[in-house]
Structure 1
Amino acid sequence: MSNDENPLIIRIDATNDLVVVELAGDLDMETTPALTAELKAVLGARPVVVELSGVEFMDSSGIGVLLGAHREAAAEGGALLLVAAGPRLQKIFKITHLHKVFALHETMESAVASLESPLEIEGAPVETVVPGFTTEPD
């Protein structure tokens, strides 16, 4: 897919307790470098909720960026939660068994409400190698 047809639009809303990253368009090899840069800038001790409902297409590079961000957020004492309302993205996460790794929600409201209790998710696989995210400090 070419990002000329569906460029990735990234909107970030950072409050004191939460960062919301809203995505729209295609999340693919051409658009993931921009998302990686934006996520690296906001990851930390605050929870980050990535709203994927506007994503029309996501390939393995998009999944890789989300895995890297998940790992980095956990390493910094934060959390990465995903909102994937559509059946297409839900299916991608289930087929890849990543619904067991990510805190995956169908609505923004359920993602925010889940922050009131401890998250019960698995860490990203150790063997995951994701461009832009490393396990060593920069």
Structure 2
Amino acid sequence: MAADRPSSRQDRPPPRRPTDPRGPGPSRAKAARRIPIAAAGSRPPTGWLAGAAATLGFTAVCFWIGSATVFAIGSTGREIDFNALGYFAGCFVSILMLYRFLVADNEARNTDRYSDWQVFGARRVIGWMTFAGWVLGASHLWFWVLDLTRP
């Protein structure tokens, strides 16, 4: 039985180094090189908010262009209209803009010097813009399917 155990301290493996208390993730060097999305003490990130407003505007403008303008997809012989682009922008890109805004806004809110807008909160504004973009995108889908199924 005594032969199964190490005979002295020198035979034991060295102790393990303590792990990072933040858990698994990027190494400290990578975390140090990462550029922060929002500067400390800033207001809500207006870049992502402007991107969401542009996406909503593009989705709305696609109603006037609609299926009147059709363009080819490469050399495949297939065509796509602005209802399809409005559907994609409204249902997918607006959600992506909301996600990126919320990530940047959370990083800004983690500082002690964050100040939101006075009248309407930025999260409420972008939430309603995303909802409106999604509704417009769903209606684009409706008109796009009607055009595709028309004899």
**Shorter chain as normaliser: what TM range?**
under 0.3
Give the structure with higher Rg (CA): 2
* Greater relative contact order, per chain length (Cα 8 Å cut-off, separation 6+): 2
Q: Give the TM-score taking structure 2 as reference length.
A: 0.23
- Between Structure 1 and Structure 2, the one with more strand by share is 1
Q: Which one has a larger percent helix, Structure 1 or Structure 2?
A: 2
